[in-house]
């Protein structure tokens, strides 16, 4: 941007802050579309369905951008299903994931006509069978198998190891498919895996997928033919110095795996499609240089971006209008009364109170993991489309926060 000043698609972030206030999430429609199209194009020739994993960011404007590009959705709760329906998404192009689906959620998804339930346990399969039979229907099902592969990522976002709460133990899957075949409320349509998040190597995918395909073949030998193989999500991005797997390399692996096979590919990318399309815009409230550490107290906090507190995650940080001068080493912290309330540690920056800072790669798992902790109204969300900033979620007010509450009646 002009004179080193930061912007999104030609729109200065300072203008967005002046108009909409801070903290504020800013998304780029262009960046969202580019990410989706790059992934989709790399898979040309492989019959596939991209199901955007909406827990990464479920703002309706984002869902709408992806739905218009032909994306389906990976839905993780009844609330997420309602969001997908709210933008007119076709439920048949969506899958329903999650270890703890309630009977009400199963019914809701069945009524909506969901494309596939990714079932994560024998108990869930029994429940789904009963729910489907009660309305004289058959629920389309994949079993999410746990291939017991280490994705070599943060333990909190590893999901495909034997000890994980996710998926069906690999060695139990064949027996459960046999059981599913005998259930009148169940229609077997696929198989599913999702080994973790922020994965930056191909090898764990290939290893897990090979196990899954071996299971497919064993099923086929018993007359259980699958329509699709769902390889899950988890493709990582560059926050600091990671090297993400380029889409063409992922696609080459997929091509090799699917060569000569009848099953269609389903994938569930979340972070990779949205993380880099968003920044969290925040303003420095106070500078508080100290005897040991120097604190820049900003108006965004752990309730707006919990990843640093939760995973010790590193996000890029950049002043919106860089100043000349000698940098000092700052910790960026929020106003919340917790020592875990930090957004970044040890950043060499030239800062003054009132400066705007852009926290990068905040399109994924930022707003969607936000909270109202400390009675902090949630920040607004803005999407830039062809140089114009649109508010896609207004800033919450304090009254919004207690609108659902009431004191006991006075007696
Ligand atoms: C979270 C999740 C995803 C998306 O993971 P990313 O790392 O954001 O790509 C996909 N599938 C399932 C089942 C998930 O829980």
Quote the pLDDT of residue 2: 54
- CATH architecture entry for 7-26+275-401: Beta Barrel (2.40)
Mutate-to-test residue for ligand 1 from 95, 100, 197, highest number of ligand atoms within 8 A of CB: 197
Chain region(s) in the chain for CATH 3.20.20.10: 29-272
Q: What is the pLDDT of residues 314-365, one digit of tens each?
A: 999 999 999 999 999 999 999 999 999 999 999 999 999 999 999 999 999 9
Q: Does the domain formed by 29-272 have CATH 3.40.50.1000?
A: no
Ligand 1 neighbours by CB, cut-off 6 Å: 53, 55-56, 74, 97, 194, 197, 232-235, 268-272
The tally of CA atoms less than 13 A away on the side-chain side of residue 115 is: 23
pLDDT over 70 (residue 101): yes
Torsion over CA of 86, 92, 94 and 96, rounded to 10 degrees?
100
How far apart are the CA of 267 and the centre of ligand 1, in A?
9
Token reading at 19: 């108009």
Residues 69 and 51: their CA atoms lie apart, in Å, by 11
pLDDT recorded at residue 3: 66
Rg (CA), the chain: 23
Catalytic residues: 337
Instruction: List every span in the chain annotated with CATH 2.40.37.10.
Output: 7-26+275-401
Residue 77 CA to ligand 1 centre (angstroms): 13
* pLDDT per position as a tens digit, 251-281: 999 999 999 999 999 999 999 999 999 999 9
* 154-169 tens-digit pLDDT: 777 777 777 788 899 9
Q: What CA–CA distance (Å, rounded) separates 293 from 163? A: 39
């Amino acid at each position: 941007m002009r004179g080193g000043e930061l912007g999104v698609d030609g729109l200065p972030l300072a203008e967005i802050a002046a108009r909409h206030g801070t903290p504020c999430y800013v998304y780029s429609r262009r960046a969202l579309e580019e990410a989706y199209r790059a992934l989709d194009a790399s898979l040309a020739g492989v019959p596939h369905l991209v199901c955007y994993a909406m827990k990464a960011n479920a703002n309706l404007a984002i869902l709408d951008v992806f739905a218009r590009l032909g994306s389906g959705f990976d839905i993780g709760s009844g609330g997420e299903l309602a969001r997908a329906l709210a933008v007119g998404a076709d439920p048949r192009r969506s899958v329903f994931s999650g270890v703890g689906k309630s009977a009400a959620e199963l019914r809701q998804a069945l009524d909506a006509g969901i494309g596939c339930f990714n079932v994560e346990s024998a108990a869930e399969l029994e429940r789904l069978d009963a729910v489907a039979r009660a309305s004289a229907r058959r629920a389309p099902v994949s079993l999410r198998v746990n291939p017991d592969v280490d994705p070599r990522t943060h333990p909190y976002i590893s999901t495909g190891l034997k000890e994980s709460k996710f998926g069906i133990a690999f060695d139990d899957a064949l027996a459960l498919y046999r059981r599913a075949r005998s259930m009148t409320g169940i229609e077997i349509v696929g198989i599913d895996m999702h080994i973790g998040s922020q994965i930056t190597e191909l090898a764990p995918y290939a290893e897990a997928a090979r196990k899954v395909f071996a299971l497919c073949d064993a099923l086929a030998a018993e007359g259980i033919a699958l329509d699709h193989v769902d390889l899950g999500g988890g493709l990582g991005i560059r926050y600091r110095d990671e090297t993400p797997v380029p889409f063409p390399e992922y696609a080459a692996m997929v091509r090799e795996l699917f060569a000569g096979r009848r099953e269609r590919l389903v994938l569930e990318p979340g972070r990779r499609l949205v993380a880099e399309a968003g920044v969290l815009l925040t303003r420095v409230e106070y500078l508080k240089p100290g005897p040991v550490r120097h604190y820049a107290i900003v108006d965004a906090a752990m309730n707006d971006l919990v990843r640093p507190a939760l995973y010790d995650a590193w996000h890029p940080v950049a002043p919106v209008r860089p100043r000349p001068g000698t940098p000092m080493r700052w910790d960026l912290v929020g106003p919340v009364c917790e020592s875990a309330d930090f957004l970044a540690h040890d950043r060499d920056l030239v800062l003054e109170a009132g400066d705007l800072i852009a926290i990068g790669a905040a399109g994924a798992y930022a707003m969607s993991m936000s909270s109202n902790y400390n009675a902090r109204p949630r920040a607004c969300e803005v999407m830039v489309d062809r140089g114009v900033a649109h508010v896609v979620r207004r800033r919450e007010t304090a009254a919004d926060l207690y609108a659902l509450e009431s004191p006991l009646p006075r007696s």
